[in-house]
Amino acid sequence: MGLFITFEGGEGCGKSTHSRLLFKKLEQQSIPVLLTHEPGGTALGDGLRKAVKRKGSASISPLAELFLFAASRAQLVAEVIRPALEEGKVIICDRFTDSTLVYQGYGRGLDLTLVEKVNNMATANLRPDLTVFLDVAPEQGLARKRSPIKDRFESEDLSFHRRVREGYVKTAAAEPDRWLVIDASQPKPRVADIIWDRVSRLLPSH
């Protein structure tokens, strides 16, 4: 089996940037690697991404939102992630089950046990080997967003984003062996070095 690495964090934390940097670093090392993201990564997932993120679309209940993310994830795991892991590749995924636990659980207020059950069904209990949490104050993260067009989640009030961050902190503390928590307010090269130091120690078999 390969190595499964996920990136997590609130809006504007740098997940997409650092997942791409790690992908390029692994490619430079001639290590078979695949970069994907959630929601999306498949034809079905890309369609669901538009539905759940587009601001101004029809109102979506928290429970419906949970199942839409789960449907996207189930397809991504079946179509992309598991086959690549079986080929021995390193998989980097920008968001995974922890995003749903935090955003729909802590953020929207859904029962955490319910969210975990749905996550486990969608992934057939697949768990990341390493989860990188780029921690940044919600105010700072939202200020980093350059696009004038905000999606449904970016448009939530500050209290929502603070609940999300609190959820990440609690979830990471509960599984310290799986999580790498990084202060994302540090310079980008420093953050990238911390990530590579941890990832490189997981790669001997490659």
Cβ-based neighbour number of residue 6 at 10 Å: 25
Structure tokens at 171: 């979830």
Question: What pLDDT does residue 143 have?
Answer: 87
Domains and CATH numbers, the chain: 3-200 (3.40.50.300)
Question: What pLDDT does residue 56 have?
Answer: 64
Q: What is the largest CA-CA distance in the chain?
A: 48
In the beta sheet, which residues pair with residue 133?
8, 181
Structure tokens at 67: 């199942």
What are the pLDDT digits (tens) for 54-101? Answer: 776 568 999 999 999 999 999 999 999 999 999 999 999 999 999 999
Q: What share of the chain is helix, strand, coil (3-state, %, to 5)?
A: 55, 15, 35
Three-state DSSP string of 161-192: HHHHHHHHHHHHHHCCCCEEEEECCCCHHHHH
CA dist 20 and 4 (Å) reads: 15
pTM recorded for the entire structure: 0.93
Question: What pLDDT does residue 15 have?
Answer: 95
What are the pLDDT digits (tens) for 8-66? Answer: 999 999 999 999 999 999 999 999 999 999 999 999 999 999 888 877 656 899 999 99
**Band of pLDDT at residue 206, cut at 50, 70 and 90:** very low
Candidates 174, 187, 27, 188; CA nearest to 101 is 174
CA dist 90 and 12 (Å) reads: 25
